Amino acid sequence: MAPLAVRTGPPVVLGVALTIARHERVRLGSVRTLRLQIGPSLDLIYLAEVNLPGNLSCLAPLTEPNVVALTLRAARLELLPDESEGSGKMSNLKALGSGQCFLTTQNRKVLVAAFAEAHVQPHVVHMTVENQVNLLEYLRTDWFTLELSGTHRCRLTRALPLRLELEFDMQRLGAAAA
């Protein structure tokens, strides 16, 4: 019988804390400043990324020799509590307009999930899985980068501490059923 790749076991879950920085005005420092005309929409772009080692304990199942594929099942953002905030106004994800999540390794970059304004709730964003590509080689490397980028609906007055959670289905080689 020919070997067959089958989905097995619980999903592999990668959870990462990220922070989308608050808006900061351009500071005019010295006499010799460069004045640039930046479009107002560029002021509402955010980027948060983190470099992660491929040997994280949550990725340990990927090192097994019979694992042949890894596809994204689900992706979501959760608002984390901000310890620096007092009893005042709480942060809210409704400030986000859109976003994309990318995995990058060894000069290869792939869009894995995205969201639009309609997906945004105050404390959670359920992202749409964009590509059902095999992500195994992205996460089996020594280091990979997880990136979240997109647009704000308005300028952020405080940073947004987030948890980005990616849930993967793992496929292993198994014997074909008779």
- Please give the residue that has the higher pLDDT: either 56 or 24: 56
Closest CA to 46 of 171, 177, 162: 162
Residue for token digits 């470099």?
51
Highest-confidence range of 39-43, 98-102, 130-134, 157-161, by mean pLDDT?
98-102
pLDDT band, residue 91 (cuts 50/70/90): confident
Average pLDDT score, the chain: 83
CA-to-CA distance for 175 and 6, rounded, in angstroms? 9
The tokens for 170 are: 């793992």
- Please give the residue that has the higher pLDDT: either 65 or 28: 65
- Level-2 CATH architecture, domain 16-22+44-173: Sandwich (2.60)
Per-residue pLDDT tens for 16-29? 999 988 755 544 45
C-beta neighbour count of 156 within 10 angstroms: 18
CA-to-CA distance for 6 and 123, rounded, in angstroms? 35
- Please give the residue that has the higher pLDDT: either 96 or 155: 96
Closest CA to 171 of 26, 20, 64, 69: 69
Are residues 64 and 171 in contact, defined by beta-carbon separation less than 8 angstroms? no
> What are the residue boundaries of the structural domains of the chain, listed by start?
16-22+44-173
